[in-house]
A and B are shown apart, each in its own frame.
Chain A
Amino acid sequence: MRPLLHGIAASVGVTRGKVKVISQPSDHLKMEKGDILVAEFTTPLFLPAILKASAIVTDIGGILCHAAIVAREYRIPCIVGTGNATKVLHDGQEVQVDGSTGILYG
C-alpha cells in the first residue's frame, strides 16, 4: 500500500477497512461494522455511523474537533484535516488508517 492522504494524527492506532463516504447522518445505514467513516466533518448526529466505524477520516478539523474527540473516546484511529478525503476516496475502497502518523494508505 502507498500513502494516499496526509492529515492531522488525531487518535492513535492503525486499522484497515473499507471506506464509506458519509455526507449526511442518515447515510449511516449504508455503513457496516468495521468500515472506515470518511466525512467532511462530523456532528453529534453522526453517532450511529461512528458506533459502527473502525476509524474516522475527515476533510477538515484540528486535534480538538468533534471527530477527534469522539474517536479518542471510542479508542479508534482518526485522521482529520486531510483536505479532500471525501473527494479522493470512494465507497468500498480498501485502506489503512494510521492515526498515529496521520497517513492513510491505499
Chain B
Amino acid sequence: MVQRESSMDNRLDELFLTVANLIYETEMAHGTRFWPFHPVRLHRIIANHFFRELRNLFLCLENRGFSINDIAGLFRNPNKVADYNLMWSSVTELDEADMYYLATKLIEVIDVLRHGDPFCRSGASLVWSEQEARARVEGGLFIGVDGDSPLAGLLSRLEAMITSYAELLYYMFPGFSRMYHGPYEIDADKVFVKEFYDLRPKDLWPATSQFPFEHYRSIGCYNQNAEIEVYFIGLFRMDMSPTQGLKKFCLELDEKRILTRTELEHYCEVAEETINTAVADISRLDDDVLLRKGAEMFFYTLKPLYQAAGVQCEVLPEVYDAIAKRERKSGGFKPLDDLTREEATKRLLRSVDFRIRRQQP
C-alpha cells in the first residue's frame, strides 16, 4: 500500500485537474487526427521509458545529497517540468509507488521554481523574487516605446519568430526552451519577462550551432491596467496584443544588450532566415527520423540532471526499439467531439490521474 499524505493528495488532485483542462484547451486530444507526429503519439512511445529514467535520476541525485532546491535549480525552467506532466496518461508501466513519488517530486520542483504557487493559481508565474525582479528592472537598459508602435511591433515580431523557432527545435514543446514569467508588480508597472533557453542545442540539431544566440530575454514594462494571465505550462494570455500597453523593454541576447532599432531589424532577418531553413530541413525528414529526434529531445532536456548525477546522457536503446515497433501502439485519446467541456475534462481526468485509473476495472 502506498503511503500518502492527504495534503499531497490534494496537490495531485489539482495537478491532474489542471493537466486535464490543459489537454482539452491545447487540443492535444485532437492532435493525432491531424498530425501523426503530434506529441500525444510520441508520448505513447516514450513516456514509460522517460518517466522511469526521470525517477532513477531523482533517486540518484537524492542519494548524492541533492536537496529539492538543488534539483529544481538543475531544471531551471518550471514550464519544462510542467510540460512533462502532459504525459501522465501514457505512463502505464511504473508501479503506483513510483508514480506517486515522481508526481510528488515534479510538483515540489515547480513549487520551488515558482515560489510557492506551482499551478499559477494567482495567474502569475513568479520565477524571480520581488527583490530580484525590482533589481532587474532598476538595473536594466530599457528602450521606451510609448508612441512608437512600429518599434514595439518589431520586438513582437522577433519574439514570435523565436517562439516558432523554439517550436521547431523542441517539437511542439516550446516550454522546453521558453520561460515566460511574471507579471511582477513593480511600482506603477506590470513587468512581464520572456526568456528562451537552449536555442543552440547542437547535440540535438547540429545545424543550430550557427544561430546567433543561445539565450533570449526581454523584460517588458506594461501599463498597470494590462491584464496578463499565465497558465501552468507557461502559456500566457493578455487582454490586448502583446505590444499594446508596453511602455518600455530591455532586450538581452546572451550577454549582449540590444539598444537600437537597426539591431532589432537585423535579428528579425536572421531569425526569419533560420526558421525558413529549419522548416525546409525538417520537412525533408522521414517519419522514423522525426520520431527518434522527438525522443532524443525529451532526454536532452534531462542533460543537466545526468551531468549532476555523473552519468552519460543518452537515449536508452529500448526507446529506439519502441519507436521501431510503433505500429503496435494505438495512439492518442478517444475523440471528444461530442462531449461537453465538463464531460471531456472528466474523461481526460480519468486518463491522466493514475490513482483513478487504477481503480477502474
Q: A residues engaging B (CB < 8 A)?
A: 11-13, 25-26, 40-41, 43-45, 47-48, 50-51, 60-66, 69-70, 72-75
Contact = CB atoms under 8 A, between A and B. Distances in A.
Contacts, number: 83
A47 B168 contact: yes
13 contacts: A11-B241, A12-B240, A41-B34, A44-B279, A61-B30, A65-B25, A65-B26, A65-B27, A66-B167, A70-B163, A73-B242, A74-B157, A75-B241
A63 B22 CA distance: 10
Nearest to A39: B34
B125 to A, nearest CB: 15
A44 B290 CA distance: 13
B94 interface: no
Contact of B30 (A41, A69, A75): A41
B164 to A, nearest CB: 5
Given A40-B34, A44-B172, A60-B30, A73 B159 contact: yes
B308 interface: no
B24 interface: yes
Nearest 6 A-B pairs (CB), nearest first? A73-B160, A44-B167, A64-B25, A41-B34, A62-B25, A65-B27
Greatest chain A CB density within 10 A among B153, B159, B241 is at B241
Given A26-B283, A47-B164, A60 B157 contact: no
A74 B279 contact: no
B259 to A, nearest CB: 23
A75 B242 contact: yes
B22 A64 contact: yes
Interface string B11-32: 0000000000010111100110
B27 A45 contact: no
A75 to B, nearest CB: 5
B243 interface: yes
Contacts of A72: 237-238, 241-242
Nearest to B231: A64
B279 A48 contact: yes
Contacts of A69: 163, 235
A62 B22 CA distance: 10
A65 B38 CA distance: 13
Contacts of B272: 51
Contacts of B30: 41, 60-61
A64 B235 contact: yes
B215 to A, nearest CB: 19
Given A43-B35, A45-B283, 20 more contacts: A26-B283, A41-B27, A41-B34, A43-B38, A44-B172, A44-B279, A45-B279, A47-B167, A47-B168, A60-B30, A61-B30, A64-B25, A64-B26, A64-B237, A66-B167, A69-B163, A72-B238, A73-B160, A74-B157, A75-B156
